[in-house]
A and B are shown apart, each in its own frame.
Chain A
């Protein structure tokens, strides 16, 4: 059985990769992908902790896994909106580069 340290370690690595990707990559699609990566890092942590939680007498076997399902649902909704926005932006400016869309302030 995999030790919990490895699961959390992997989750942390994935989250860091996602964060750095979201902050540094200029491509809108890649940024969305990085955000997905961060979400999935969180999912991994949920699943990993769930195993410890299930061993606890007061705990339950499925809490963390249900959370993962919730996150996957949210991620699906988010990517639907996100991709829609990306398409709208690309149509507007003809560019995938996030720096070309800096006038969306106010």
Chain B
């Protein structure tokens, strides 16, 4: 395996450059307390991601130039933990690898990262609420990019975990960026805690995997090593404790542990609750963290370990169902949201659900394809939404916008491209990548794959509906914008619009990178080097073949119908007959209430987990263990018992009575005498 590796010392600079910039900002702000001028901040913070993007590009092109499939670039920068000899040798290296999977992901992260850095330069200039916020924001953003690149380029699980935690930290910092408001700080903590629950699963999974591999005689945590030694543990079973000797596959257990981690990071049910709240972050951060890059880390993890999940049928089924259900219910919730960023948050969750669905069905390449296209169109949507709310003075309520198409023509076109892409209009990126997922779902052999397929189709319809609903509410219909704001509306500057153009182009063309065999033949593009086939050199191939052209056309027709129905429905309800919306909302008030509160899952967690935990902490742990047991019994109890001993017992002979002393002295002397005599 390792003989395919080609040394490439450039790789370490990809995460290191943004890290250097972040450290520079941190030192200047935190230690020297000497903030830089905004121009310098932009030069440093956008320059390093650009350099890092160039490094990625150079490395990627040399990866492509490698002869044959399966080769990869490796940069063993430093042996972090090393020990053992011979067959028992173990080492965890700070080493970076660039193969097809991490290459594609790193490119997406670098491109999206750089574009969003540029956008932030415009956005945060207009939005800085305290004097050092501007540089602080870029410090976090650089650090986030760096951590994400570490996560993607890591060649072993431990280092990936390092990046995984790094992005969680940045996500926390950026969500609570305007920490002056308690709500924001709370949302940041919530995201961090939900992620920690997932990280526990990830950590247990890593340790289980390492433990079983060491027992099989191959103590390794590098992805290549695990894959090479995986056959030794693939068949191993575990006896469940207390379940009547029921045995489960070890890889299923490990897979479920990893799934928990992936759910936390990628906001899948039941750990999705942090993502909607995370929308209090500045919009560029939302675009980078909660749409384009960080949340796809869970999908990336599953694809990275595709050989493990391919051997774990139960875990894969759970992944597919978690993904399918999350996709459906998040799309339902997205329909009912008033806040533009909330719509996008639930939409992200829903698209991530599609990726999990694909990964669960074994179509890892399709999942990665959707990761890529989703990064483009979701970043586009987020940035366009940010531009709209910025010119409206931080207005995020959809029902207080409207009729902006004449005032903001450029933003409108960009938003429209994003909406078409996410809704799955034929020819745009979302159409191809989601179509690929749905076909893979249909042709998989999973339990209930037909149900999952139709759930996916329904979700596509809802996706189309909420995307167009958002567009119509913002740009069409009647204006609900305050008059004086409306009078002074003007398009944002080119710094903001440039990244939008870039993402719009990528959203349109992104789909043609990963055309399926069917579409390749249809359009006449040679697809032997398509994204899917490229990624399949690394991930387990969930190749589907043998579908007849007629079947393929039926899938296409279903997808187009879902898109058209959703779009037409949104147009009919929000442009043609807005009165109907009010009537329908009135009669379905309960349903709307349930949906707009996110199915009350937050409330459920509040009641079932948070409050019992608070009661447990307060009543039992604080008042019981801390105050009574430790303070009362252990600390004060010791002091008090000594005092009692002295007060009740030791004090008695010390009476002050001379003759008492004399008597005791006599007894003492008699005792000594008796001892001496015999």
Residues of A within 8 A of B (CB): 19, 22-24, 26, 31, 98-99, 101-105
CA A23 to CA B655, docked complex, whole Å: 15
User: Whole-angstrom distance from the CB of B377 to the nearest CB of chain A?
Assistant: 87
Q: B587 within 8 Å of A by Cβ?
A: no
Question: Can you add 19 more A-B contacts, CB < 8 Å, to A22-B659, A26-B659, A31-B659?
Answer: A19-B666, A22-B662, A23-B662, A23-B663, A23-B666, A24-B659, A31-B658, A98-B657, A98-B658, A98-B659, A99-B657, A102-B655, A102-B656, A102-B657, A102-B658, A103-B656, A104-B658, A105-B654, A105-B656
CA A105 to CA B666, docked complex, whole Å: 19
* Nearest opposing residue in chain B for A99, CB measure: B657
User: Whole-angstrom distance from the CB of A20 to the nearest CB of chain B?
Assistant: 10
User: Whole-angstrom distance from the CB of B658 to the nearest CB of chain A?
Assistant: 5
User: Whole-angstrom distance from the CB of B656 to the nearest CB of chain A?
Assistant: 4
User: Whole-angstrom distance from the CB of B153 to the nearest CB of chain A?
Assistant: 76
CA A31 to CA B660, docked complex, whole Å: 13
CA A8 to CA B98, docked complex, whole Å: 108
How many interface residues does B have (CB within 8 Å)?
A: 9
A-B contact pairs, 20 of them (CB 8 A): A19-B666, A22-B662, A23-B659, A23-B662, A23-B663, A23-B666, A24-B659, A26-B659, A31-B658, A99-B657, A101-B656, A101-B658, A102-B655, A102-B656, A102-B658, A104-B656, A104-B658, A105-B654, A105-B655, A105-B656
CA A104 to CA B663, docked complex, whole Å: 17
* Nearest opposing residue in chain A for B654, CB measure: A105
CA A54 to CA B357, docked complex, whole Å: 116
Q: Which residues of A contact B655 (CB under 8 A)?
A: 102, 105
* Nearest opposing residue in chain A for B663, CB measure: A23
Q: Which residues of A contact B656 (CB under 8 A)?
A: 101-105
CA A103 to CA B656, docked complex, whole Å: 6
CA A99 to CA B658, docked complex, whole Å: 8
User: Whole-angstrom distance from the CB of A42 to the nearest CB of chain B?
Assistant: 13
* Nearest opposing residue in chain A for B659, CB measure: A23
Q: Which residues of A contact B659 (CB under 8 A)?
A: 22-24, 26, 31, 98
User: Whole-angstrom distance from the CB of B657 to the nearest CB of chain A?
Assistant: 5
User: Whole-angstrom distance from the CB of B665 to the nearest CB of chain A?
Assistant: 10
CA A26 to CA B655, docked complex, whole Å: 15
Q: Which residues of A contact B657 (CB under 8 A)?
A: 98-99, 102
CA A39 to CA B658, docked complex, whole Å: 19
Task: Give the residues from 637 to 668 in chain B that come closer than 8 angstroms, CB to CB, to chain A.
Answer: 654-659, 662-663, 666
Q: Which residues of B contact A104 (CB under 8 A)?
A: 656, 658
Chain B 595-618 near chain A by CB (<8 Å), digits 1 or 0: 000000000000000000000000
Q: Which residues of B contact A101 (CB under 8 A)?
A: 656, 658
Task: Give the residues from 315 to 337 in chain B that come closer than 8 angstroms, CB to CB, to chain A.
Answer: none
Q: Rank and list the top 3 A-B pairs by shortest CB-CB distance, nearest first.
A: A102-B656, A105-B656, A98-B658
Q: Which residues of B contact A103 (CB under 8 A)?
A: 656
* Nearest opposing residue in chain B for A102, CB measure: B656
CA A23 to CA B662, docked complex, whole Å: 7
* Nearest opposing residue in chain B for A105, CB measure: B656
Chain B 88-102 near chain A by CB (<8 Å), digits 1 or 0: 000000000000000
CA A105 to CA B662, docked complex, whole Å: 14
* Nearest opposing residue in chain A for B658, CB measure: A98
CA A104 to CA B654, docked complex, whole Å: 10
CA A103 to CA B657, docked complex, whole Å: 8
CA A79 to CA B498, docked complex, whole Å: 111
CA A101 to CA B656, docked complex, whole Å: 8
Q: Which residues of B contact A98 (CB under 8 A)?
A: 657-659
CA A36 to CA B148, docked complex, whole Å: 97
Q: Which residues of B contact A102 (CB under 8 A)?
A: 655-658
User: Whole-angstrom distance from the CB of B448 to the nearest CB of chain A?
Assistant: 86
CA A17 to CA B43, docked complex, whole Å: 107
User: Whole-angstrom distance from the CB of A61 to the nearest CB of chain B?
Assistant: 28
* Nearest opposing residue in chain B for A104, CB measure: B656
Q: Which residues of A contact B663 (CB under 8 A)?
A: 23
Q: Which residues of B contact A22 (CB under 8 A)?
A: 659, 662
Q: Which residues of A contact B654 (CB under 8 A)?
A: 105
Q: Which residues of A contact B666 (CB under 8 A)?
A: 19, 23
User: Whole-angstrom distance from the CB of A48 to the nearest CB of chain B?
Assistant: 19
* Nearest opposing residue in chain A for B661, CB measure: A105
User: Whole-angstrom distance from the CB of B661 to the nearest CB of chain A?
Assistant: 9
Chain B 332-352 near chain A by CB (<8 Å), digits 1 or 0: 000000000000000000000
CA A18 to CA B105, docked complex, whole Å: 104
User: Whole-angstrom distance from the CB of A12 to the nearest CB of chain B?
Assistant: 14
User: Whole-angstrom distance from the CB of A45 to the nearest CB of chain B?
Assistant: 15
CA A76 to CA B663, docked complex, whole Å: 24
Q: Which residues of B contact A99 (CB under 8 A)?
A: 657
* Nearest opposing residue in chain B for A101, CB measure: B658
Q: Which residues of B contact A26 (CB under 8 A)?
A: 659
User: Whole-angstrom distance from the CB of B121 to the nearest CB of chain A?
Assistant: 79
User: Whole-angstrom distance from the CB of A16 to the nearest CB of chain B?
Assistant: 11
